[in-house]
Amino acid sequence: MDAPAVPASTSAREPFDAADCCTLSPDFAELKDKLATYLRPDDIERVEAAYHFSADAHAGQFRISGDPYISHPVAVTDIVADWHLDPQALIAALLHDVMEDTHISKQEIAERFGKTAAELVDGLSKLDRIEFRSQEEAQAENFRKMLLAMASDLRVILIKLADRLHNMRTLHCVRPAKRRRIANETLEIYAPIANRLGLNNLYRELQELAFEHKFPLRYKVLSRAIKAARGNRREVVSKVLTAIEERLPQWGISADVKGREKHLFGIYRKMVEKGLSFSQVLDIYGFRVIVRDVPSCYLALGALHSMYKPVPGKFKDYIAIPKANGYQSLHTTLIGPYGTPVEVQVRTAEMHHIAESGVASHWLYKEDEKTLTELQQKTHSWLQSLLELQSTSGGAAEFLEHVKIDLFPGEVYVFTPLGKILSLPKGSTPVDFAYAVHTDIGNRCVACRINGDLMPLRTELRNGDQVEVITAAHANPNPAWLSYVRTGKARAQIRHFLKNAQQEESVALGERLLNQALRPHGLTLGQISAFAWDRFLRDRGVRSKKEVFADIGLGKRLPVIVARRLAQAQDHESGRPNVIKPKPAGAILIRGSEGIAVQLARCCQPIPGDPIIGTIRKGQGLEVHLHDCAAVAKLRGDRGRWVDVEWEVGEDRLFDVTIRVLTKNARGVLARVASAIAEEDCNIQNVSMDNEQGVYTALNLVLQVRDRMHLAHVMRGIRRVPEVVRIGRVKSDGRTT
């Protein structure tokens, strides 16, 4: 939406009267003629009243091009009228900028034109009255609002896309930097949304206009190259077109055959993705064959393949397996005259309507109810997934990131064990598949079978794969999944789970740390009164005790400072200094399996039985190190940054620890060392070797042990191997002990 060059007056507005604005612009007069082809006279009158209202509201405002601002809403309404949208949508299109650029309120629109029109306009209005920290945050929040409004009423996005299309058509008046930003935004968001909704014509035009404004020089060069190539390839196109038109009737097929030139952006993208020059892109022309019914599609395909040889691997059946946006066609690439590749699409007239107009076909072509109902169901499912993404995303920017991921155009089709087809973005993994089936299956996923074979969860799925997900009752999402999942839903659900898990664990850890910090004051958490807590929360601007505990657990607040403030508030309530005898702080008990809030340091790899110390890392919680770890030596003087911790007895789990074994070079020595480790009921997680002067070999082994005593038994067993010269545990500074 363009900012008007001349703002509307801020003075009090006079009551609107349509009789005062009886003149129509030539553009709106043409629009009325278009509306008369499908609307009743009384509906046209309501639309005309909205036109006068909008013209009055935007009076004195001009676009950057110098045109009266009302020309923009009329042009947007003209575009949506091509889709035969209903009167409420047309009214909203005419009024889509009045809330943003004038002092018209949502309530006033509702009173004059109905609640539905007011809701549509509100969904289209930017959030200018809210202050954001950055332009990126404001943009993300605007997209979030628009997409959520779209989820409740699809007409919002149809009007928004029409608005963007007209702005792109008139973008030449905008300064170059802003032009490139808007063009990039169009390529990243609006064109993919148009594609996702099946608005093919709109999608292509948005891409072409964005390409022209984002890369003007490349656009001009490629345009000239296309014009030069037309003359050279006209003979090929004419020959293929004539051959198809002659062959199809011989097979008893009545068809409408059209030749078409591929879009500039599509050619440019192919050149970039495949590293080709323009002369190497041969298939810049394609053909569309529109037939009577579905059997004729396959019969026409046979006729085409009898004329020219098909290119292996270039046939796609989108009739049997439609795209997510409802698109259906047969695609094949043939080797035409002179060895030129020719792309052909075969579809029915109904499929063509949907391919060109997508969800707008609901308003345009209502006679094909079955196909449109399936398309509406698919669109509804996608819109519902947006609402689910919103509920699990951490903010507007994260929500927008997830939506962008889901708008990725490439698709791969895979099967469930029961034969149901799922469409996923290219590059998707079994984890994406699991979340696509159900959130709980994704959260409990532990392994998978692809075509009956056990495969890693990070395996990229291919067309036709049958995927079976193996779950476990107590499994949880792995943070490592975020590095390879492809869908927005999977990414959002994993992040949501991890945030909640971290929050819960941080609260529990924060309580333990604060309780320990209160002991020197002679207090426990249970003894802190409601008055002391209320005073602390009010003075610090915190909403709840739970938030304080979480901040302590994440290292955002130091427990000793919180304890001191609470003790002071407690003393203030009693009216006397604290005379209770202080107690030793005591140590926090560590099990080693706390999860996200408590982590065992990788630098020194502590295991049960080791003397340990805990450090509080901001935003990451408690990290447990060996007592003499070099990484925590500098924190010794800062009492607020470290806490005493001890191992809790009886925890049955395995811990990683690294040892270095120096051996003489001898045949079979690695096998004997591994055998000695296995005899002590220990597993080798990783092994690497370093040759030292050709006489000795250093084995670096990552072992899984229960505790310090178990490690001692393992090392004793290794020492019994005759070739072992020296053995030691690797410390954080690389030395061995």
Rounded to whole angstroms, how far apart are CA atoms 461 and 431? 10
Q: Characterize the bridge pairing of strands 285-291 and 256-261.
A: antiparallel
Rounded to whole angstroms, how far apart are CA atoms 263 and 343? 13
CA dihedral 434, 438, 444, 445 (to 10 degrees): -10
Q: Which of 82, 100, 185, 356 is catalytic?
A: 100
CB 498 within 8 A of CB 479: yes
CB 149 within 8 A of CB 122: yes
For 71, the enclosing helix (H) or strand (E) is helix 71-81
- In the numeric block, the tokens 């020089």 are attached to 217
- Residue 685: CB atoms within 10 A of its CB come to 13
HEC string of 138-204 equals HHHHHHHHHHHHHHHCCHHHHHHHHHHHHHHHCHHHCCHHHHHHHHHHHHHHHHHHHHHCCCHHHHH
With 0-12 / 13-18 / 19 or more C-beta atoms within 10 angstroms meaning exposed / middle / buried, residue 16 is middle
- In the numeric block, the tokens 């063009």 are attached to 183
With 0-12 / 13-18 / 19 or more C-beta atoms within 10 angstroms meaning exposed / middle / buried, residue 41 is exposed
CB 698 within 8 A of CB 734: no
Rounded to whole angstroms, how far apart are CA atoms 472 and 442? 11
Which tokens belong to 669?
């020595």
Pinpoint the alpha helices (H) of 407-541: 430-437, 439-443, 488-518, 530-540
The one-letter amino acid code at 562 reads V
- Residue 246: CB atoms within 10 A of its CB come to 10
Whole-angstrom CA distances from 616 to 300, 520, 552, 637, 641 are 71, 19, 9, 14, 5
Which tokens belong to 618?
């901001």
- Nearest Cα to Cα of residue 53 among 11, 7, 13, 12: 13
Handedness of CA 308, 310, 315, 320 (dihedral sign): positive
Residues in the chain: 737
Q: What are phi and psi of 207, to 5 degrees?
A: -65, -45
Is 48 in the active site? Answer: no
Q: Which of 101, 141, 350, 610 is catalytic?
A: 101
Could you tell me how far CA 149 lies from the centroid of its own chain?
18
Is 440 in the active site? Answer: no
Rounded to whole angstroms, how far apart are CA atoms 43 and 682? 81
Q: Characterize the bridge pairing of strands 621-626 and 612-617.
A: antiparallel
- Residue 660: CB atoms within 10 A of its CB come to 17
For 699, the enclosing helix (H) or strand (E) is strand 696-705
- Residue 273: CB atoms within 10 A of its CB come to 8
Which tokens belong to 674?
């591994």
CB 346 within 8 A of CB 292: no
For 626, the enclosing helix (H) or strand (E) is strand 621-626
Rounded to whole angstroms, how far apart are CA atoms 139 and 146? 11
CB 655 within 8 A of CB 592: yes
292 by DSSP, 3-state: which? coil
- Residue 574: CB atoms within 10 A of its CB come to 12
Question: Which residues are catalytic, by number?
Answer: 100-101
